[in-house]
A and B are shown apart, each in its own frame.
Chain A
Amino acid sequence: MSTPEIVFAGCNGGALTEIADYEAVGGFQALAKARALTPDDVIAELKASNLRGRGGAFFPTGMKWSFVPKPDKLDKPHYLVINADESEPGTFKDREIMLRVPFRFLEGALIAAHAIESTHVFIYIRGEYEAEFEVLVASLEQMRAKRLLGDVTIVLHRGAGAYICGEETALLESLEGKRGQPRTKPPFPAIAGLYASPTAVNNVESITTATSVLELGGEEYAKLGVENSAGTRVFSLSGNVVNGGNYELPHGFPLRDLINDIGGGIADGRTLKAVIPGGSSTVVLTADEANTVTLDFTSLVGAGTAIGSAAVIAIDDRCCMVQLAVRVSQFYQHESCGKCTPCRVGTKWLTTILQKIEDGRGTQADMDLLVSVAERINGKCLCPLGDSDAIAVMSYFDKFRDEFQAHIDEGGCPFHGSSSLDQLLAPVAMHIHEHTPVHA
């Protein structure tokens, strides 16, 4: 299967961090093309491309831009905010995009700014991404020297370690100098976003791909990939595979081939047990299910899960699924912002019950309680963080119920200390340890 590179085009496995190198592969021609078009025509190209958001929600990018009111309709500045706060476990594609094709990303930012008629761009970049931040600073300097920014101001704003700020309204709160807690929607950011002004919030990969859409033309781009999932995608492959990494592939690529051919198969001579297909908040697939799906919206929704942030985590047969549930739930408990009670309290309860089952102290009633708590979180909060915990954990429970039951029946973990996640120390667990005397 030929795999055209769109996002990483021209890299040849390396990085395009010198502006001359980027220009040599056609860099900034898409921007010139966009600026020669009216904003509406740029949006029309994006709509024709069928590009959908790469952050996880898969919302059509052109449509999102079209929701931002025209400047003459509102006496307020317009903002473009780029979400570079990548932190969904399993996902590490945006950092590689920023490291290897920073100019294509920043070119896309200028194209998007033109499309929504904004002169203010904020890039909210994860605090942990220090090297990536430095690449963007250096790239912007080179672009300013060439006067490519025109009247647009681009501000790099560093996060400080909070998963929740990847949620767009929490990100806007954080950017305004507040605690990163989600807002009630509506109003949506396109109407009242940053400083209550119309704001488009887009993911790094979506913005970078916008450059390619302008370069190729919307209709050409739409021919790549499969129905409902146009174009290529940068898949983050991790877990028990031989060759983890980011791989740009057309949508519709078989999941099995990503793991076995591109990823080199399952490491250490083990066998595949399960796959998390789109970041830790998506429904797990059993090995059998994973062998039948393709990596696109329709196929994964058909299998009851989602493409999410295209983060594929392969899990081998050494992993205890109750331990996996504990660790995933600990993450969401740690990252809950605390605003909505079902999430703040519910994620803690899920973790507590799961840990009890893992420790062999669980009863049959705890299995029912787990389901009951999950149902009390799902759909009852301002943002999907709590839902993610409930959905992920319940998918392990539903598909690997025998393993959960074995913990109850045997009064302990059937893996007897041999699971790959055994005794894994999470930051949440560490807080508890800090207040517990160390056993002599």
Chain B
Amino acid sequence: MSALYDEIQVMRAQYPESLSAVMPALQLAQERNGGWLSEQAFRDVADALDLTPAYCLSIASFYDMFRLEPTGEHVIEVCTNVSCGLKGAQQVVEAFERGLEMRAGETTDDFTLRTVECLGGCGWATIVAVDNRHRLHVQAEDVPRIVAELRGVEWVEPDDEADVDA
């Protein structure tokens, strides 16, 4: 049997009833499958827990963090709930749209950009989750630096005078 199968059995043993392991099993399968759940991933989880793939899909489709389509290499999620909104979250979203040349909701090979509901960091707005790690106090002017970092290119602070000369 596969490593995934064996690991799911360990999870299963933590619970009095094995059905409880379906969420952690799906989380693991998603992680092993590059961040999304393919048909094969559902079959694997179903086999490991004696469930049907359809049941596993019914669970995955209920929860926002399960992804049913491939994601980009980096997933960028901007909270646009009230507290972040009051502090300029929309400007942050638009800065990412410009920097990544894509619209919120879209996916490329390199990036998935989406807006999400409250990430629970309201006092440190705007919260941006980059590959599930929360960046705090993000402002629109911070976005080019984050984009450069994720693209693996060196970030050069724009020189105001050079801009004027150009």
Is the pairing of A and B real?
yes
A residues engaging B (CB < 8 A)?
A: 77, 86-92, 95, 120, 126-131, 155, 157-163, 174-180, 195, 236-240, 244-246, 276, 280, 311, 313, 315-316, 319, 324, 327-328, 331, 334-335, 337, 420-427, 430, 433-434, 438
- B window 80-133: CB within 8 A of A: 80-83, 85-90, 93, 103-105, 114-125, 129, 132-133
Interface centre among B58, B87, B129 (most CB of A within 10 A): B87
B143 CB → nearest A CB, Å: 15
Given contacts A130-B133, A427-B114, whether A244 and B105 have CB atoms under 8 Å apart is no
- CB <8 Å contact, A176 and B20: yes
Selected contact of B83 from candidates A161, A177, A238, A422, CB within 8 Å: A238
24 contacts between A and B (CB under 8 A): A90-B82, A90-B83, A90-B122, A92-B123, A92-B124, A95-B121, A127-B65, A128-B120, A130-B133, A155-B14, A159-B23, A163-B118, A176-B20, A178-B59, A236-B122, A244-B122, A313-B82, A313-B122, A315-B86, A424-B90, A426-B80, A426-B117, A427-B114, A433-B104
A425 CA / B105 CA spacing, docked (Å): 10
Q: Quote the shortest CB–CB distance from B37 to chain A (angstroms).
A: 11
Q: Are B115 and A426 in contact (CB under 8 A)?
A: yes
Whether B120 lies near A177 (C-beta < 8 A) is no
18 more contacts with CB within 8 A, not counting A160-B66, A161-B63, A280-B82, are: A77-B16, A87-B117, A89-B81, A90-B82, A90-B122, A92-B122, A128-B120, A159-B23, A159-B65, A161-B64, A179-B58, A238-B122, A239-B83, A245-B123, A324-B82, A420-B88, A426-B115, A430-B105
Determine the distance from Cα of A238 to Cα of B122 in the docked complex, in whole angstroms.
Answer: 6
Q: Closest B residue to A160 by CB, please name it.
A: B63
Contact A240 B87 (CB under 8 A): yes
| Contact A92-B90, Cβ < 8 Å, known A238-B83, A327-B81 | no
Shortest C-beta distance, A423 to chain B (Å), equals 6
**Residue pair B116, A427 in contact (C-beta under 8 Å):** yes
The residues of A that contact B117 with a CB separation of less than 8 Å are 87, 89, 163, 331, 334-335, 426-427
Contact B119 A327 (CB under 8 A): no
Could you tell me if A236 and B123 are in contact, using CB atoms closer than 8 angstroms?
yes
Instruction: Say whether B21 faces chain A, with CB atoms less than 8 Å apart.
Output: yes
Given contacts A89-B122, A427-B116, is CB(A158)–CB(B87) below 8 Å?
no
CB-CB under 8 A from B23, the residues of chain A are: 157-160, 174, 177
B127 to chain A minimum Cβ distance, whole angstroms, is 9
The docked-state distance in angstroms from the alpha carbon of A334 to that of B81 is 12
Using Cβ atoms and an 8 Å threshold, which residues of chain B touch A327?
Answer: 80-82, 85
* Contacting pair B86 A240 (CB below 8 A): yes
Cβ-defined contact, A195 with B119, below 8 A: no
- Counting chain A CB atoms within 10 Å of each CB, which of B18, B65, B88 scores highest? B65
B19 within 8 A of A: yes
A162: chain B residues within 8 A (beta carbon): 62-64
How long is the Cα–Cα vector from A273 to B98 in the complex, in angstroms?
Answer: 32
State the 3 A-B residue pairs at the shortest beta-carbon distance, nearest first.
Answer: A244-B123, A161-B64, A177-B19
Nearest residue, chain B, Cβ from A311: B122
What separation, in Å, do the CA atoms of A16 and B99 have in the docked complex? 39
Residues of chain A contacted by B115 (CB below 8 angstroms): 425-427, 430
**What residue in chain A is nearest B122 (Cβ atoms)?**
A238
- Residue B163 interfacial (CB < 8 Å): no
Nearest-neighbour CB distance to chain B for A191, whole angstroms, equals 18
Chain B nearest CB, measured from A37 CB (Å): 28
Q: Check if B24 is an interface residue, CB within 8 A of chain A.
A: yes
A328 to B86, CA, bound (A): 12
Complex contacts, A331 vs chain B, CB 8 Å: 81-82, 117-118
Report whether A91 and B122 are in contact in the complex, using a CB–CB cutoff of 8 Å: yes
B21 — which chain A residues lie within 8 A by C-beta? 177
Q: Do residues B80 and A175 form an inter-chain contact, with CB atoms below 8 A?
A: no
Residues of A within 8 A of B121 (CB): 92, 95
Chain B residue at smallest Cβ distance from A428: B117
Q: Which residues of chain A have C-beta atoms less than 8 A from B119's C-beta?
A: 128
* Chain B residues near A426 (CB-CB < 8 A): 80, 115, 117
Shortest C-beta distance, A250 to chain B (Å), equals 19
Q: B17 an interface residue at 8 Å Cβ cutoff?
A: yes
Alpha-carbon distance A387/B17, docked complex (angstroms): 33
B16 CB contacts on chain A under 8 angstroms: 77, 120, 195
Question: In the complex, what's the smallest C-beta–C-beta distance from A169 to chain B, in angstroms?
Answer: 15
Bound together, the chains give a CA A158 to CA B30 distance in angstroms of 14
B134 is an interface residue with CB less than 8 A from chain A: yes
Contacting A at CB under 8 A, from B6-50, are: 14-24, 26-27
Q: Please indicate the chain B residues that have their CB under 8 angstroms from the CB of A175 in the complex.
A: 20
Considering residues A127, A176, A177, A426, which has the most beta carbons from chain B within 10 angstroms of its beta carbon? A177
Q: Are B86 and A126 in contact (CB under 8 A)?
A: no
| Residues of B with C-beta under 8 A to A130 | 132-133
What CA separation (Å) do A245 and B14 show in the bound complex?
Answer: 36
Query: Known: A195-B17, A280-B82. Is A95-B22 also a contact (CB below 8 A)?
Result: no
* Distance A176 CA – B16 CA, assembled complex (angstroms): 10
Nearest opposing residue in chain B for A425, CB measure: B115
Q: Are A239 and B86 in contact (CB under 8 A)?
A: yes
Whole-angstrom distance from the CB of B15 to the nearest CB of chain A? 7
Query: In the complex, what distance in Å separates the CA atom of A424 from the CA atom of B104?
Result: 12
Q: Which residues of B contact A433 (CB under 8 A)?
A: 103-105
Chain A: CB-nearest residue to B131: A130
The answer to whether A92 and B62 have CB atoms under 8 Å apart is no
- A180-B120 contact in complex given A195-B17, A280-B82, C-beta closer than 8 Å: no
